[in-house]
Amino acid sequence: MSKKVTIDAKGVYYRQLNEQIREAIAAGATEFVLKNVNSQRYIAGAVDGHVKFDLDGVPGQDLGSFMRGPYVRVRANAQDGVGNTMDDGLIVIEGLAGDVVGYAMRGGRIFIKGDVGYRVGIHMKAYMEKLPTIVIGGKAGDFLGEYMAGGILLLLGMFSDKPSEPIAGRSLGTGMHGGVIYVRGTVPQEQIGPGLTAQPVDEADLAVIQGIVKDYAKELKLDAKAIMAESFVKIRPFSHRPYGNLYVPA
């Protein structure tokens, strides 16, 4: 049975807010509506299980850090560190998000409608059924998917406030040794990290993209067909040991 709790976060310090949320969850709450959120950090941080969060306002750093299972919807922009080391669940950002979204993400999904900052999706990991996925509707800053060891990054470049910028910043995927980055349309070679190239997608890739786009469009009330109307390219690691030949035993 779902139990809904509404909290007015106006002027509430993050520690009190998160404490209040934890206590409510312990008392059986399964759904939160947070009104007037204004930069409080760590909301939904380390929350376990199928708890719903509906955020009105801009949450602070590290939204959903370490969380395992919750569904978080932000009806505005988000700051840095969204989904830091997130384990499972879904975060939907109806606006844009800052730097290091999904740092070392281990599972679950993050759907962002607009642009994102630097170093998004770095150190993403995957194991067996755990396949973290980030979809960026706008454009991305430098070092998207750096050190990526697993998971899926899907960059659409469609809903951007930066018309003159390239779809991804420089050093896209640099140091990646697992996972895949899909880009809608094309990405200039000079933006891609050393040793990597954008390759055409195959049937299997398209099926994966289609599945993700379907959910993404539904969550953000977008037209999946319009998203799929363009071609895609993929960037995969050139080696699972990109620095394997760097050393000599002293």
Residues forming the site for another protein (CB under 8 A): 15, 18, 22, 41-42, 45-46, 48, 61-62, 65-68, 80-81, 84-85, 87, 99-100, 103-104, 106, 119, 122-123, 125-127, 130, 143, 146-147, 149-150, 175, 177-178, 240-250
Distance of CA 218 to CAs 113, 124, 133, 222, Å? 12, 24, 16, 6
Q: What is the DSSP letter of 189?
A: G
Q: How far is the CB of 3 from another protein (least distance, A)?
A: 21
Q: How far is the CB of 109 from another protein (least distance, A)?
A: 16
Q: In sequence order, which residues have a C-beta less than 8 Å from that of residue 104 and are 6 or more positions away?
A: 84, 85, 122, 123, 124, 125
Kindly tell me which of 164 and 245 has the beta carbon lying closer to another protein.
Answer: 245
Q: How far is the CB of 149 from another protein (least distance, A)?
A: 5
Kindly tell me which of 70 and 137 has the beta carbon lying closer to another protein.
Answer: 70
Kindly tell me which of 22 and 219 has the beta carbon lying closer to another protein.
Answer: 22
Name which of 65, 50, 46, 49 is nearest 104 in CA terms.
Answer: 65
Kindly tell me which of 112 and 222 has the beta carbon lying closer to another protein.
Answer: 112
Kindly tell me which of 174 and 217 has the beta carbon lying closer to another protein.
Answer: 174
Strands 31-38 and 52-58 come out as parallel
What is the C-alpha separation between 13 and 102, in angstroms, rounded? 24
Q: Which amino acid is at 250?
A: A
Q: Are 29 and 9 in contact (CB under 8 A)?
A: no
Kindly tell me which of 160 and 174 has the beta carbon lying closer to another protein.
Answer: 174
Q: How far is the CB of 153 from another protein (least distance, A)?
A: 15
Q: How far is the CB of 248 from another protein (least distance, A)?
A: 3
Q: Dump strand ranges (E) for 9-108.
A: 31-38, 52-58, 68-74, 88-93
Q: How far is the CB of 146 from another protein (least distance, A)?
A: 8
Q: Are 26 and 1 in contact (CB under 8 A)?
A: no
